[in-house]
A and B are shown apart, each in its own frame.
Chain A
């Protein structure tokens, strides 16, 4: 059974840092791109960033809103990926999901999501 489990959320002050983890099981983690998506309270979904797989040299992409502040990394030996968040702002308050990307008929989409972890940025 495919599972993605996020952890590491919590309360942090503006300007602070937090590291989220996404633990994967039930599939060959190293084969897949994995993304982070967030959702502010009562708002819509916002794509945060991506870690591609080893075949694509673990390259990353970021949304403009987090570029330069957030860093995505992964450890295939641990079936885990990470989101290091620095210089946090109140606007970063959200539930953060990790999600697996699958490719079917040359189209990429999210087929499995974690349950999410809440990050609250507040003084």
Chain B
């Protein structure tokens, strides 16, 4: 199975900060990489699909980049409602895998 490794596992940042989360695949997955946000007690919600495409209704402060094995999720200006956990997920192989998650806290 393809392993997905996210970093950092957690971060604390202030409102207005630029936040970057990275995700590395154990083999090339082209651009078959998606990012999800999950709030406590809720189901995940897709933010970015195909590495860099913004899902409809998602604020433009969220962006994704990368291809092959290295990917990045960026929040250009952190907002109070952006707290929660973020997961990358590969859809390249038949067996999908998630990164272990990054917990984002607001200072």
- Tell whether, in the assembled complex, residue B98 and residue A45 are in contact, meaning their CB atoms are under 8 Å apart: yes
Q: A64-B1, A116-B43 are in contact. Are A107 and B94 (CB under 8 A)?
A: no
Chain A residues closer than 8 Å to B45, beta-carbon distance: 113
- A92 at the binding interface (Cβ < 8 Å): no
- Tell whether, in the assembled complex, residue B43 and residue A107 are in contact, meaning their CB atoms are under 8 Å apart: no
| Min C-beta distance of B99 to chain A, whole Å | 8
0 or 1 for each of B87-107: is its CB under 8 Å from A? (1 = yes): 101010011111111000000
One of B10-18, B19-27, B46-54, B71-79 at the interface: B46-54
- Tell whether, in the assembled complex, residue A109 and residue B34 are in contact, meaning their CB atoms are under 8 Å apart: yes
- Tell whether, in the assembled complex, residue A45 and residue B32 are in contact, meaning their CB atoms are under 8 Å apart: no
Q: A45-B87, A113-B43, A115-B43 are in contact. Are A107 and B34 (CB under 8 A)?
A: yes
- Tell whether, in the assembled complex, residue A108 and residue B91 are in contact, meaning their CB atoms are under 8 Å apart: yes
Inter-chain residue pair count (beta carbon < 8 A): 66
Q: A104-B50, A104-B53 are in contact. Are A97 and B98 (CB under 8 A)?
A: no
- B44 at the binding interface (Cβ < 8 Å): yes
Q: A45-B98, A45-B101, A104-B53 are in contact. Are A113 and B44 (CB under 8 A)?
A: yes
Q: A46-B98, A107-B31 are in contact. Are A97 and B49 (CB under 8 A)?
A: no
- Tell whether, in the assembled complex, residue A105 and residue B53 are in contact, meaning their CB atoms are under 8 Å apart: yes
Q: A44-B98, A61-B94, A63-B95 are in contact. Are A107 and B32 (CB under 8 A)?
A: yes
Q: Which residue of A lies closest to B43 (CB)?
A: A113
Chain A residues closer than 8 Å to B53, beta-carbon distance: 104-105, 107
- B83 at the binding interface (Cβ < 8 Å): no
Chain A residues closer than 8 Å to B100, beta-carbon distance: 44
By a beta-carbon cutoff of 8 Å, the part of chain A in contact with chain B is 35, 44-47, 50, 61-64, 97, 99, 104-111, 113-116
25 contacts across the A-B interface (CB closer than 8 A): A44-B87, A44-B98, A44-B100, A44-B101, A45-B36, A45-B89, A47-B95, A61-B94, A62-B95, A63-B95, A97-B44, A99-B43, A104-B49, A105-B53, A106-B50, A107-B53, A108-B32, A108-B91, A109-B34, A109-B46, A110-B36, A110-B89, A111-B46, A113-B45, A114-B43
* 9 further A-B pairs in the complex, CB-CB below 8 A; given A63-B95, A105-B53, A113-B44: A44-B87, A46-B98, A47-B95, A47-B97, A50-B94, A97-B44, A106-B50, A107-B53, A113-B43
